[in-house]
Amino acid sequence: MNIGKGLFDRKIEEVKIPYDDITAKGTVARHLLSMLPEEIEIPIIIVCIGTDRSTGDSLGPLIGTFLKEKGKSPFHIYGTLEDPIHAVNLEEKLQAIKSTYEHPFIIGIDACLGKLKSVGMIQIGDGPVKPGAGVKKELPSVGNMHITGIVNVSGFMEFFVLQNTRLHLVVNMAKTIADGIYRAGLSYRYQHSLLKLKWSEGQENTI
């Protein structure tokens, strides 16, 4: 789902945020907002990847579920505990999104493995997330930007490591990311309401 360079061609360096930092939610919101397109007609799609059949890999659907529970959002949320997006149905879900929305801006969210010192870090950056890379699976890349959470250590028996990741870490990281996205959504909605109001006033003045 690569719409090419131009409209979304803004390179921003990836940031790492400790999930338990007191400012983490605000930092997630701020960085997310800085990367969203300014055009009000572009649909923002959040694709939360993962499965509740694996503790470590449940980060994405937990985030999707927490966001859905918060109610109305300017963002379109895909991937929850009830209706997860995973290796089996990823291509089908992406095709459905592509058929539903015209030139969407997609935020790919997924769990990942990393160095021991990076466990618990939230990463926000430009470009797609690559699901399955940590466990040597070939799956489609997802997103114009990505949010990932490092839930455990990479390098050895990755499937086993994901299965034995602490739920406490995953749930709390998911809450931090979901709260940050929710805050970003509130600001995004407010900013775009002002833009629409100014546009309407401008139209009236031309009549």
* Structural domain includes residue 206: no
CATH code (residue 55): 3.40.50.1450
Query: Picking from 8-17, 72-81, 155-164, which range would have the lowest pLDDT averaged per residue?
Result: 8-17
pLDDT band at 136 (very low <50, low <70, confident <90, very high): low
Q: Are strands 105-114 and 44-48 parallel, antiparallel or unpaired?
A: parallel
- Annotate 142-193 with DSSP letters as a single string: B-SEEEEEEEEE-SS-HHHHHHTS-HHHHHHHHHHHHHHHHHHHHHHHHHHH
Q: What is the pLDDT of residue 196?
A: 53
Burial status of residue 47 (CB atoms within 10 A of its CB: 0-12, 13-18, 19 or more): buried
* Structural domain includes residue 106: yes
Domains identified in the chain, total number: 1
Q: Is the pLDDT of residue 26 over 90?
A: yes
Q: What is the pLDDT of residues 87-114, one digit of tens each?
A: 899 999 999 999 999 999 999 999 999 9
Q: Is the pLDDT of residue 9 over 90?
A: no
* Structural domain includes residue 132: yes
Over range 79-85, report the average pLDDT.
96
* Structural domain includes residue 114: yes
Q: What is the pLDDT of residue 6?
A: 39
The pTM (predicted TM-score) of the whole model is: 0.86
Which residue range forms the structural domain that includes residue 153?
15-195
Q: Is the pLDDT of residue 81 over 50?
A: yes
